[in-house]
């Protein structure tokens, strides 16, 4: 731990998301969905019998699909045909991964493609500054595709009110806590 008399170094400049990793039930089933249906190329695979960060024995295949910006969505197949369990205390709509597409037409085209492959799609949902569609991958992971409809000026205006909106939420949350405590 750093002494309080020495200044801390500046935080690293985080450039972009490198990858987000989930557990998958089956690497080939997952590859088919992300590569053949969504169009994300399988880009890299790591296979090992030992976890590099912990040294524990756990044979796995780690597969990476590349997005246009160079970031990845990745999955671990642990060889046991089990997908990750959903969180027991969180509604299914909360935890999700959202990918940006260029236009609302891209949303419509992808929705048609997903539905033709037997995938249930919710949307197009209007969030005012962007529109979205929602669906689940073969592992039960909720995905969102969104197309921003707000321009740069509108987004700048949104950013100017973000802290005030969070402050209002914090007040409301404190009231909800108090109400729960008194019930």
Residue 131 belongs to a domain with what CATH number?
Answer: 3.10.180.10
Q: Is the same domain home to 73 and 132?
A: no
142-148, strands of its sheet edge to edge: 96-101, 142-148, 130-136, 122-126
The half-sphere exposure of 172 on its side-chain side, counting CA atoms within 13 A, is 6
Q: Going by C-beta distance under 8 Å and a sequence separation of 6 or more, which residues neighbour residue 140?
A: 83, 84, 86
Statement to judge: residues 63 and 119 lie in one domain = no
Chunked into runs of 10 residues, the chain (183 residues) has average pLDDT values of 77 89 96 97 96 94 96 96 91 92 95 96 94 95 94 92 93 94 89
Neighbouring C-beta atoms of residue 177, cutoff 10 Å: 10
Q: Which of 63, 84, 105 is the last residue of a domain?
A: 84
Q: Domain containing 76: what range?
A: 16-84
Position 176 in a domain: no
Residue 122 in contact with residue 135, Cβ under 8 Å? yes
Q: Is 131 exposed, middle or buried (0-12, 13-18, 19+ CB in 10 A)?
A: buried
Judgement on whether residues 80 and 113 belong to the same structural domain of the protein: no
Contact 147, 123 (CB under 8 A): no
pLDDT of res. 37: 96
pLDDT of residue 183: 85
For the four alpha carbons of 19, 62, 142 and 72, in that order, the dihedral sign comes to positive
The whole-number pLDDT of residue 4 equals 67
Both 106 and 146 in a single domain? Answer: yes
Mark which of 41, 68, 84 sits at the end of a domain: 84
Position 119 scores a pLDDT of 96
- Please check whether residues 44 and 94 belong to one and the same domain: no
Report if residue 36 sits inside a domain: yes
CA-based angle 93:96:102, to the nearest 5?
115
178's enclosing H/E stretch is helix 152-182
Q: Do residue 78 and residue 120 come from a single domain?
A: no
Domain count, the chain: 2
Whether 7 is covered by a domain: the verdict is no
């Amino acid at each position: 731990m750093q002494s309080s008399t020495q200044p801390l170094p500046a935080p690293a400049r985080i450039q972009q998301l490198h990858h987000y990793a989930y557990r998958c039930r089956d690497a080939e089933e997952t590859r088919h969905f992300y590569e053949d249906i969504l169009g994300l190329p399988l880009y890299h695979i790591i296979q090992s019998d030992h976890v590099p960060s912990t040294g524990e024995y756990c044979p796995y295949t780690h597969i990476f699909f590349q997005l246009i910006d160079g970031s990845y969505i990745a999955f671990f197949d642990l060889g046991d045909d089990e997908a990750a369990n959903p969180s027991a205390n969180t509604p299914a709509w909360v935890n999700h991964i959202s990918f940006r597409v260029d236009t609302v037409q891209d949303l419509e085209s992808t929705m048609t493609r997903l539905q033709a492959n037997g995938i249930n799609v919710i949307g197009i949902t209007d969030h005012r500054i962007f529109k979205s569609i929602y669906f689940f991958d073969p592992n039960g992971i909720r995905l969102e595709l969104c197309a921003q409809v707000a321009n740069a000026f509108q987004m700048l205006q949104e950013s100017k009110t973000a802290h005030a909106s969070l402050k209002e939420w914090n007040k409301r949350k404190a009231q909800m806590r108090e109400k729960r405590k008194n019930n």
